[in-house]
């Protein structure tokens, strides 16, 4: 039976702007595995995720970004045109058309949108789609439901506070929650905070990685996925040529200390 990697994540894992070369695809290619990709734009961790990936050998979870970004409140969104009220439409565009007139129009609107968002955050205050305490509880339940020994948690994604005011520190908090869940359950955790160069390895929004950025993230994630896969398939083999060489490290040892990562309120 072939090794199957399940991917749970948002637009980063789904490869917005990466033209099919996002890190889950690269990890699967490096390991010669099948990819069951459930990642989509604006996706958040769900209580029933464990049921959706029961047929996978290893489950990679890259959540805590969409959940943690600070966004204008529902009340604030009443001040903008209806089409800007859709999920993510006040964020800057990650890329632009190569057609000159269309590209210039997109750049102009993109610049207006994120500046309007910044003003709304200052006037009305921010909201988050998933509060830290809820994210922690659901993530731990999903990891335990999957079986922690076959889960790889990925955290440490970042963004530019210029375009996403005060959100970078929030993503650090959600990454700490993922790291803490890994320590509590015994799942593996991969920190990709230092994998990419800021902002050379990102698209124009300083949020979504470029193809180069995805390659670097894949190089960081592949060893942990290979290690988890090897526990269930001793014949999983080595990383294919072009991928990183796996360092088979054990999962994070469970801790008995209560997490200090989860807190109430927004920074």
Along the 267 residues of the chain, how does pLDDT read in single tens digits? 689 999 999 999 999 999 999 999 999 999 999 999 999 999 999 999 999 999 999 999 999 999 999 999 999 999 999 999 999 999 999 999 999 999 999 999 999 999 999 999 999 999 999 999 999 999 999 999 999 999 999 999 999 999 999 999 999 999 999 999 999 999 999 999 999 999 999 999 999 999 999 999 999 999 999 999 987 765 555 555 445 443 333 455 444 333 334 333 333
Kindly give, in sequence order, each residue whose CB lies less than 8 Å from that of residue 197, ignoring residues fewer than 6 positions away: none
Distant-in-sequence, close-in-space partners of 101: CB < 8 Å, separation ≥ 6: none
Sequence-distant (≥ 6) Cβ neighbours of residue 244 within 8 angstroms: 30, 218, 219, 220, 222, 223
Place of tokens 């083999």: 237
Nearest to 248 by CA among 230, 235, 266: 230
Provide the 10 A C-beta neighbour count for residue 190.
23
Question: Residue 231: what are its φ and ψ, rounded to 5°?
Answer: -65, -30
């Amino acid at each position: 039976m072939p090794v199957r990697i399940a991917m749970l994540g948002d637009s980063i894992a789904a490869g917005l702007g990466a033209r099919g070369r996002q890190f889950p695809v690269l990890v699967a290619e490096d390991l010669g595995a099948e990819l069951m990709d459930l990642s989509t734009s604006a996706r958040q961790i769900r209580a029933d995720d464990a049921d959706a990936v029961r047929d996978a050998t290893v489950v990679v979870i890259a959540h805590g970004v969409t959940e943690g970004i600070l966004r204008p409140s529902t009340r604030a969104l009443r001040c903008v045109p209806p089409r800007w009220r859709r999920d993510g439409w006040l964020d800057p565009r990650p890329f632009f058309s190569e057609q000159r007139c269309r590209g210039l129009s997109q750049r102009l609107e993109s610049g207006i949108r994120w500046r309007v968002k910044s003003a709304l955050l200052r006037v009305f205050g921010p909201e988050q789609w998933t509060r830290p305490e809820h994210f922690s509880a659901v993530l731990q339940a999903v990891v335990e439901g999957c079986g922690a020994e076959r889960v790889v948690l990925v955290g440490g994604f970042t963004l530019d506070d210029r375009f996403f005011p005060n959100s970078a520190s929030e993503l650090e908090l959600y990454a700490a929650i993922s790291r803490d869940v890994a320590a509590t359950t015994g799942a593996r955790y991969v920190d990709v905070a230092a994998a990419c160069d800021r902002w050379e390895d990102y698209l124009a929004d300083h949020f979504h990685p470029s193809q180069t950025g995805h390659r670097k993230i894949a190089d960081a994630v592949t060893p942990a996925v290979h290690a988890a896969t090897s526990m269930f398939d001793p014949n999983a083999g080595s990383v294919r040529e072009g991928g990183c060489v796996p360092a088979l490290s054990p999962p994070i040892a469970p801790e008995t200390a209560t997490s200090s990562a989860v807190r109430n309120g927004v920074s």
